[in-house]
Amino acid sequence: MIRPRRSLLFMPGSNARALEKARLLHADGLILDLEDSVAPDAKATARAQIAKAVGDKGFGKREVLIRINSLDSPWWIDDLNMAGKAKPDGILVPKVSSVAELSAIADRLTDVGAEIAIKVWIMIETARGVLHAEELAAASQDSEMRLAGFVFGPNDISRETGIRMLPGRSAMVPMMTHCVLAARSHGLAILDGPYSDIGNIEGFAHECAQARDLGFDGKTLIHPGQIDACNAAFTPPAEDVAYARKVIAAFAEPENAARGAIQLDGRMVERLHVDMAKKTIAIADAIAAMGS
């Protein structure tokens, strides 16, 4: 099943008003946060508020993830215990760098009786995480790992490595491409990290377009004002959808049944383009079903 993931917005779990407001936002998904946006003395409150918000089931068709604290923190076990029982669509774990950490997460979810439908997402935001991206993605072949996707975290990678986050992110592109290839080679979704300069509309639009062209499914966001532009960037244009339908219809013609390539509107089109066209249409249909 293709699910639109153009925009996933981080919402601080300690802010009850923000959690309530999230029910009305047009993001494809929400990441209810226990990590960076929540102060240490507010972790317990945030945990309780997120559990109630997810339990109330008021987020409609939006995908709901809970971001727990990293496995090197004193909070992750309590976070995971709550998240496993709250039944979100998924649990996002920061700073995962090894399959051993994935196993620890999976084991804990089994211990608390978490439903297998609850998926695990991991943030690739360390040097080791980037280097081990293919190994991490391959672990998804074990269904007990629950792994559904990556979130690329450029800000933490920059902080750890000293690689500068300059406009255009040219120094980050090789790592981003590496993570996209790792994810796709094992059928995983992958999201780009957030854009921090919320007042820079042009810069944000450029980064969304870059992420789209590099093969990301969507982008994580830190401000509601970024949702519309992000959704627009990752929505297939109407002309692309129309052409995709044309490609499928052309290969469905009896005279093309045994042909591997045909001419369409002056272009050579191969059967591999049929698969691409089907994906474009499936995404467009899924977005339409979301109502945005």
Residue after which a domain boundary falls, among 192, 207, 234: 234
CB contact set of 121 (below 8 Å; sequence gap of 6+): 65, 90, 91, 92, 93, 147, 148, 149, 150, 151
| Residue 2 forms part of a structural domain | no
Q: Residue 44 CB: number of other CB atoms within 10 A?
A: 15
pLDDT of the residue at 251: 95
pLDDT of the residue at 291: 80
| pTM exceeds cut of 0.85 | yes
- Do 252 and 228 fall into the same domain? no
The answer on whether 255 is annotated among ligand-binding residues is no
pLDDT band, very low/low/confident/very high, at 277 (cuts 50, 70, 90): very high
Domain that holds residue 251: 238-291
The answer on whether 20 is annotated among ligand-binding residues is no
The answer on whether 67 is annotated among ligand-binding residues is yes
What values do phi and psi take at 12, rounded to 5?
A: -65, 125
pLDDT of the residue at 1: 64
**β-strand partners of 120:** 91, 147
| Residue 94 forms part of a structural domain | yes
| Residue 1 forms part of a structural domain | no
- Do 136 and 14 fall into the same domain? yes
Residue after which a domain boundary falls, among 212, 234, 256: 234
- Do 141 and 202 fall into the same domain? yes
Residue after which a domain boundary falls, among 207, 234, 261: 234
Total domains, the chain: 2
- Do 28 and 59 fall into the same domain? yes
pLDDT of the residue at 292: 58
- Do 79 and 105 fall into the same domain? yes
Interstrand relation of 7-12 and 119-124 (parallel, antiparallel or unpaired)? unpaired
Interstrand relation of 261-264 and 29-33 (parallel, antiparallel or unpaired)? unpaired
- Do 129 and 255 fall into the same domain? no
| Residue 133 forms part of a structural domain | yes
| Residue 130 forms part of a structural domain | yes
- Do 186 and 256 fall into the same domain? no
pLDDT of the residue at 99: 98
Residue-averaged pLDDT of the chain: 96
pLDDT of the residue at 269: 95
| Residue 143 forms part of a structural domain | yes
Start-to-end CA distance of the chain, whole Å, equals: 18
CATH number at residue 153: 3.20.20.60
**β-strand partners of 121:** 92, 149
Tell me the pLDDT tens digit for each residue of 178-221.
Answer: 999 999 999 999 999 999 999 999 999 999 999 999 999 999 99
Residue 45 has pLDDT above 90, yes or no: yes
**287: helix, strand or coil:** helix
| 45 vs 1, more confident | 45
Tell me the pLDDT tens digit for each residue of 91-150.
Answer: 999 999 999 999 999 999 999 999 999 999 999 999 999 999 999 999 999 999 999 999
pLDDT of the residue at 2: 85
- Do 155 and 273 fall into the same domain? no
Average pLDDT of the residues in 237-248: 96
